[in-house]
Chains A and B, each alone.
Chain A
Amino acid sequence: MKNINLSKWRYVSSAISILLMLASLTIIGVKGFNWGLDFTGGVVTEVQLDKKITSSELQPLLNTAYHQEVNVISASEPGCWVLRYSDIKSADTEPSATDIKQVLAPLSSEVQVLNSSIVGPQVGQELAEQGGLALLVAMVCILGYLSYRFEWRLASGALFALVHDVVFVLAFFALTQMEFNLTVLAAVLAILGYSLNDSIIIADRIRELLIAKPKLAIQEINNQAIVATFSRTMVTSGTTLMTVGALWIMGGGPLEGFSIAMFIGILTGTFSSISVGTSLPELLGLSPEHYKVQVISDTP
């Protein structure tokens, strides 16, 4: 591969990365997230009904029972419905409203509750705070480790790539308005780890080359490092994408959000570690001097 072309490719893709990131931030700002039950509080019930019943029959019945607009979504299987509404105080309504089987009795006598969750608003709030805290703590710890292990210019590249990946995944969830729940948050945190994985392996190579070949230009070193690690990057990203893909296809509804987030995270993680991850340290003026072996004087 022509290394000059590679440099050019890196700069162009870095520019694209930054543009995409800005667009992502705008999307997040404009659309916001479709927070899941874990964070908002409320009630989610999944029921199995007679297959003939349609949502237009369900909707008015539920709306009058719960005195609010009940969110009715058809689940993957026919006759399966996910009902979502905000929590009601049992004192406010007739006692029958608390039992979904009685509410739906006029439509179908065969009501099977597959699962139901009731989360108080306070708990949701706390979970959101905890999640934010987890994200923050993980970031700070990683930052600490990176700055200890690598020179700050090199570390900043990895860090920028990391923020890029997380923002991109978040933007995807804002754009599609897919539910952002606790498992998706876990995926975002796992992306933190995996995105760094790629960046660190390239950074390790850059460091090695900087020490071994201090005469070489930094662009050249970066290019060599990318080429040297390229087949590893592809193989590992490939196997991880394949397994996450398997999870996406076979894992069913509860893991869908998780696997989509991971899938996108791994894709952008690979891309960003090659593009912005290496270009930023270059821009910040990383040079072999930063890794020159310190001469220790013989006399104490």
Chain B
Amino acid sequence: MERKPNQRLLNHYSAWKYVVLIATLIVMLFSALPTWYGEDAAVQVGAKAGLTLTPIALRDKLQAEGVTVKRIDQKNGETLIVLDEDSQQTLVKTLLSSMVTEPKELTLSLASAAPNWLQSLGFQPIKLGLDLRGGVQFLLDVDIEPVYQTQADTLVESLRQFFREHEIRGASARVSAASVDQTSQLYLSLPDNDARAAVRQFMKETYPSWQVTNADSANLQAKLSLEEQTKLRNLTVQQNLQIMRSRIEELGITEALVQRQGEHRIRIELPGVQDPAAAKNVIGATASLAFFEVKESGSVNAMVLNDKSGNPIYVSRMPVLGGDHIVDARASIGEMGMAEVNINLDRVGGQKMSEFSRSKIGKPMATSYSEYSRDEQGKAKQTQEIISVATIQSQLGDRFRITGAGTYQEAQQLALLLRAGSMTAPVTIVEERTIGPTLGAENIENGFAALGLGMGITLLFMALWYRRLGWVANIALISNMVILFGLLALIPGAVLTLPGIAGLVLTVGMAVDTNVLIFERIKDKLKEGRSFALAIDTGFDSAFSTIFDANFTTMITAVVLYSIGNGPIQGFALTLGLGLLTSMFTGIFASRSLINLVYGRDASRHVKV
């Protein structure tokens, strides 16, 4: 290859690279700053709460109770009371509930303590995990087995009816003991091959989600297909998630987290809550559903229930049918392009519905949703409301559909609620952790003290060891931390946990490795008799593949930890992995641009690094 006349400039970065570097650093610095200020506990009073006090009156009233208020913001009818002491949050909420008409509108929240100009830029502090902030964490197990069981029971009923109708004598269907994989299995003993063919045909047409296999001679076995099992499981867990979310909302914690974990678990994190008993009562509520005949308004022999918008609806005192008879409910788009909800009832429910609807064609039927729950004081309470009123089009059997539920989304919502009354999957709390607020604060203090000490020692060591280049490594290390904190604040869903802080401390120790590798190479090249500038160039180049190799394996473990681990461990994996990326950015790119500027033209040999 011929050498081009204008050779590449040695140790030169073009101006745009500096622009990128400086811009990144400035943005990250701003993003990291709010974390420095931290967050204050606050109580939010919603616009509908009916708070009549002015901020000043409110402050005086709270002060009289021994509460120090940092500031009170009032905007669009909403009031935010920021407290000086985090531990007074619950106290203030109790105090406030006597001053407002709707205590439900009070929520515990956190307010950034950063100055206003910083907040107006849209930067938020890093989200802290429960182990740092204090609070309660629950892990709920959704038991899917009863859902499968209900499906199997309905099929057995339906098959028995089929046997009777087609006069297949000597045939029987029963649910055999749960197999190894914990799903219900059906065993059908049949008299002959004709019966077998007939049953197979029936199953294929009516219950395609069941897999039918030959057991022995004329007998059959049926099992829910894996696909259907997954579908049922997902539906059940999702529906429980939905229920939990709406219940947690009532607790009034804005930062609460409700999410699915694994196949059939739900994790609930309630930061700031100190008493798990209150939360447990709310979580452990049960829901049910019923169908009512709609009476004329003003009717004497009727019960009045409100619908979602609060309008009274007169319904019969006794429900036609309870939600325990619903086997399944799914939303779909009907022939006319209207959203509808398909409902399957069990046999008894089908008979009841059929008897009722025969005489009531053209008349409306109401569906009610009720929830039994315990309030925060542990008292049981029931809430009941009408979720839909639909017209009966024809005599109904064990399968029917409800139209007039609104849009497809609304139909889906209704189906979800209907299933909620049917697929009663018992939910049990399998893990419960409470971290006291003082312990959380102590954890933060210890973690950051360790980070500060580790950082101090490393900076000092690098400055002493690599006298000429040490300051470059130190600037790289400091900007590495700035970028890392900035990224943690920026990435949605990133949470800093105690093991996460440990990851940060480790990153400090390992981040200098990139610079050490490069500096050692530069030393080698200098020994070989090259000029400083040339040694810098070749040193950076030859160290790159080593740096990449070394970081890559740690990255593998970080990714594995993140994808398999849970809560706190994910926090560790996150800081570890991000730390690797940022340390490569600052160690190679940032330190090179600094060295280029200062030593890039240094042609002297015999330099001691």
Contacts and interface: CB of A to CB of B under 8 A. Distances in A.
Nearest to B551: A197
Given A242-B457, A246-B454, A116 B433 contact: yes
Interface in A95-124: 112-120, 122-123
A284 interface: no
A170 B436 CA distance: 31
B420 interface: no
A193 B556 contact: yes
B513 A145 contact: no
A240 B509 contact: yes
A296 interface: no
Contact of A258 (B141, B262, B502, B549): B502
Contacts of B498: 254-255
B432 interface: yes
B434 A251 contact: no
Interface in B562-600: 564-566, 568-569, 572-573, 576
Contacts of A117: 431-434
A142 B461 contact: no
A126 B552 CA distance: 29
B477 to A, nearest CB: 10
A101 to B, nearest CB: 11
Interface in B514-564: 516-517, 520, 524, 545-546, 549-558, 560-561, 564
A169 interface: no
A197 B438 contact: no
Contacts of B430: 119-120, 122-123
Nearest to B520: A232
B505 A244 contact: yes
* B262, B462, B552 interface centre (most CB from chain A within 10 Å): B552
A239 B509 CA distance: 5
B447 interface: yes
Contacts of B573: 186
Contacts of A194: 510, 554
A103 B572 CA distance: 36
Interface stretch (A4-12, A28-36, A50-58, A129-137): A129-137
B443 interface: yes
A142 B569 CA distance: 20
Contacts of B553: 142, 145-146, 192-193, 196-197, 200
A243 B139 contact: no
Contacts of B447: 251-252, 255
Interface in A172-217: 182-183, 185-186, 189-190, 192-194, 196-197, 200-201, 204-205
Contact of B546 (A201, A251, A262): A201
B436 A243 contact: no
Given A133-B564, A232-B517, A255 B557 contact: no
Contacts of A238: 461
Nearest to A77: B442
Contacts of B431: 117-120, 123
Contact of B568 (A46, A134, A183, A251): A183
A251 B546 CA distance: 32
A254 B597 CA distance: 45
Interface string A207-249: 0000000000000000000001101100110111111111101
Nearest to A236: B513
Nearest to B518: A232
A199 to B, nearest CB: 9
A257 B506 CA distance: 15
B450 interface: yes
B576 A190 contact: yes
B449 interface: yes
B560 A243 contact: no
B439 interface: yes
Contact of B433 (A114, A115, A240): A115
Nearest to A248: B450
B512 interface: yes
Q: A interface, how many residues as a size bin?
A: 35 or more
A275 interface: no
A186 B457 CA distance: 25
Contact of A197 (B262, B520, B554, B561): B554
Contact of A247 (B502, B516, B549): B502
B351 interface: no
B458 interface: yes
Nearest to B436: A114
Contacts of A193: 553-558, 576
A205 B543 CA distance: 10
B554 A186 contact: no
A292 interface: no
A73 interface: no
Interface residues of B, number: 67
A239 B450 contact: no
Given A115-B433, A120-B431, A123-B139, A134 B502 contact: no
A138 interface: yes
A190 B524 CA distance: 30
B432 A243 contact: no
Nearest to A241: B509
Interface in B228-257: none
Interface in B110-145: 131, 139, 141
* B262, B549, B552 interface centre (most CB from chain A within 10 Å): B549
Contacts of B572: 183, 186, 190
B458 A242 contact: yes
Contacts of B566: 127, 130
A227 to B, nearest CB: 11
A295 interface: no
A197 B550 CA distance: 5
A120 B450 contact: no
A259 interface: yes
A1 interface: no
A141 interface: yes
B342 to A, nearest CB: 35
* A122, A149, A242, A251 interface centre (most CB from chain B within 10 Å): A251
B552 A145 contact: yes
B26 interface: no
B555 to A, nearest CB: 8
A115 B274 CA distance: 9
A293 interface: no
Interface string A251-269: 1101100110010000000
B197 interface: no
Nearest to A46: B439
Contacts of A190: 506, 554, 557, 561, 572, 576
Contacts of A249: 450, 453
Nearest to A146: B553
* A243, A245, A246, A262 interface centre (most CB from chain B within 10 Å): A243
A250 interface: yes
B446 A255 contact: yes
Contacts of A254: 131, 443, 498
A247 B520 contact: no
A244 B560 CA distance: 22
B499 interface: yes
Please name the 5 residue pairs, one residue from A and one from B, whose CB atoms are nearest each other, closest first: A193-B554, A243-B454, A240-B509, A243-B509, A120-B430
Given A123-B431, A242-B457, 20 more contacts: A122-B141, A127-B566, A183-B569, A186-B499, A192-B553, A193-B556, A194-B510, A194-B554, A197-B551, A200-B550, A201-B546, A201-B550, A239-B462, A241-B509, A242-B509, A245-B454, A246-B451, A254-B443, A254-B498, A255-B498
17 contacts: A116-B433, A117-B433, A134-B561, A145-B556, A146-B553, A185-B569, A186-B565, A190-B561, A193-B555, A201-B550, A240-B510, A243-B454, A244-B454, A247-B450, A250-B446, A252-B442, A254-B131
Interface of B: 131, 139, 141, 262, 276, 429-436, 438-439, 442-443, 446-447, 449-451, 453-455, 457-458, 461-462, 465, 498-499, 501-502, 505-506, 508-510, 512-513, 516-517, 520, 524, 545-546, 549-558, 560-561, 564-566, 568-569, 572-573, 576
